């Protein structure tokens, strides 16, 4: 079809021989399709490029987090070794364990570079990395709290004398006396020797033996009860422990010593700040202990072998806390359990 305003001859002379006749509308459509195709290709390339950049960024973040986690774990392991060294040196001196010894002094938050290098040049190099690392920690006497494992004797029965101690602690915490009986019954079911069921009878319900105080909730103990008792009770691997009167709270001492009042225990705390008790024989002669035979002090002592070591590392925006239970066997310091308390990011 020839354009309007042009003769057939002019149109034939202007149009090359053999070329197809193209309408202007078709040309515009082809250009629009080409532009759309180019835009689609550009969008696809941009999407693929952004996806590859995101994957690379994610890989970098994962690697950075893994590196920070590994570094934090090694640093806290070093802090644990430092605590073990302090307790080993304390064992060499012997004697009673009290709050005036070096192990009882908490480590305030300090820059990690101050431990790694004493000269200013190395400290400046560490700070130039752009990551600030701060370490803090403390050692706590685990025998400053009453051990719930003492509730069950070797025969798997509830020890009446130890149950009375827990009853007194529950009263100090504002809990009913039935709370102590429920805890004792739950622990008896968890720790009592397993006996095969008689033929034709249903087997006794099995419980998982708790390893930490918080795990008592598995046995049906109310979490609020555990929260109230937590400052005064603990759960240690061995029942052969005594409450250390040099480190325990007044409520724990008053509950562990039969016949001792809370006021007498508070007077003991005031006196031990000046002069810690060095042996149990001298402690029995103090006026704040109830008069009676020496057997009344069987649940207390002046030395400890179980300790909690808590370390806290602040590395950049991350905070890692870890707590370890260790046992001091003369000069051998054994790590019994390690628990990561918290891993979060600070604002």
Each domain of the chain, given as residue ranges in start order, spans: 76-143+305-345, 146-230, 242-248+258-299
Predicted local distance difference test score (pLDDT) of residue 88: 92
CB neighbourhood size of 235 (10 A): 18
Predicted structure pTM score: 0.74
3-state secondary structure of 32: helix
Predicted local distance difference test score (pLDDT) of residue 60: 83
Residue 22 confidence class, pLDDT cut points 50, 70, 90: low
Would you give the DSSP letter of residue 152? B
Phi and psi at 335, nearest 5°, equal: -85, 120
Looking at the chain, the whole-number percentage of residues with pLDDT higher than 90 is: 29
pLDDT in tens, 277-310: 888 776 666 667 776 545 467 889 999 999 999 9
Residues 151 and 250: their CA atoms lie apart, in Å, by 21
First-last CA distance in the chain: 75
Most confident of the following: 54-63, 160-169, 186-195: 160-169
CB neighbourhood size of 241 (10 A): 21
Is the CB of residue 297 less than 8 Å from the CB of residue 284?
Answer: yes
Q: Among 335, 313, 293, 298, which Cα is nearest to 131's? A: 313
Residues 242 and 73: their CA atoms lie apart, in Å, by 33
Predicted local distance difference test score (pLDDT) of residue 336: 92
Give the mean model confidence (pLDDT) for residues 75-102.
89
Helix axes 178-191, 160-172, angle to 10 degrees: 130
Q: Among 145, 297, 128, which Cα is nearest to 233's? A: 145
Residues 152 and 240: their CA atoms lie apart, in Å, by 11
pLDDT in tens, 149-180: 999 888 888 999 999 999 999 999 999 878 99
Residue 20 confidence class, pLDDT cut points 50, 70, 90: low
| Residue 138 confidence (pLDDT) above 70 | yes
Is the CB of residue 302 less than 8 Å from the CB of residue 327?
Answer: no
Q: Among 267, 301, 266, 263, which Cα is nearest to 282's? A: 301
Predicted local distance difference test score (pLDDT) of residue 125: 39
| Residue 203 confidence (pLDDT) above 70 | no
Residue 335 confidence class, pLDDT cut points 50, 70, 90: very high
* Least confident stretch, 20-24, 56-60, 96-100, 287-291: 20-24
Architecture of the 76-143+305-345 domain: 2-Layer Sandwich (3.30)
Q: Among 240, 157, 163, which Cα is nearest to 195's? A: 157
């Amino acid at each position: 079809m020839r354009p309007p305003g042009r003769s057939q001859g002019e149109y034939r002379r202007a149009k090359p021989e053999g070329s197809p006749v193209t309408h202007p509308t078709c040309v515009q459509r082809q250009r629009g399709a080409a532009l759309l195709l180019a835009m689609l290709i550009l969008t696809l390339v941009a999407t693929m490029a952004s996806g590859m950049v995101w994957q690379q960024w994610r890989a970098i973040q994962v690697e950075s987090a893994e590196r920070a986690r590994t570094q934090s774990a090694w640093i806290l392991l070093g802090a644990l070794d430092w605590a073990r060294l302090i307790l080993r040196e304390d064992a060499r001196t012997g004697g009673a364990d009290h709050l005036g010894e070096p192990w009882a002094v908490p480590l305030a938050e300090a820059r990690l570079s101050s431990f790694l290098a004493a000269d200013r040049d190395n400290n400046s190099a560490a700070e130039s990395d752009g990551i600030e690392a701060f370490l803090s920690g403390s050692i706590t006497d685990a025998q400053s709290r009453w051990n719930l494992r003492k509730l069950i004797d070797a025969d798997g029965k509830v020890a009446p004398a130890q149950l009375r101690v827990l009853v007194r602690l529950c009263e100090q915490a504002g809990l009913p006396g039935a709370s102590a009986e429920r805890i004792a019954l739950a622990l008896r079911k968890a720790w009592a020797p397993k006996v095969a069921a008689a033929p034709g009878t249903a087997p006794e319900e099995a419980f998982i033996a708790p390893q930490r105080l918080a795990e008592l909730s598995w046995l049906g103990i109310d979490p609020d009860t555990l929260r109230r008792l937590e400052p005064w009770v603990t759960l240690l691997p061995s029942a052969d422990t005594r409450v250390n009167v040099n480190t325990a709270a007044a409520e724990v001492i008053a509950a562990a010593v039969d016949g001792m009042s809370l006021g007498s225990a508070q007077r003991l705390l005031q006196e031990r700040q000046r002069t810690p008790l060095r042996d149990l024989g001298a402690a029995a002669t103090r006026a704040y202990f109830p008069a009676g035979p020496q057997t009344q002090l069987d649940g207390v002592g002046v030395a400890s072998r179980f300790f909690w070591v808590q370390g806290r590392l602040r590395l950049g925006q991350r905070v890692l806390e870890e707590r370890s239970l260790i046992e001091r066997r003369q000069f051998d310091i054994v790590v019994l359990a390690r628990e990561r308390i918290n891993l979060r990011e600070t604002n």
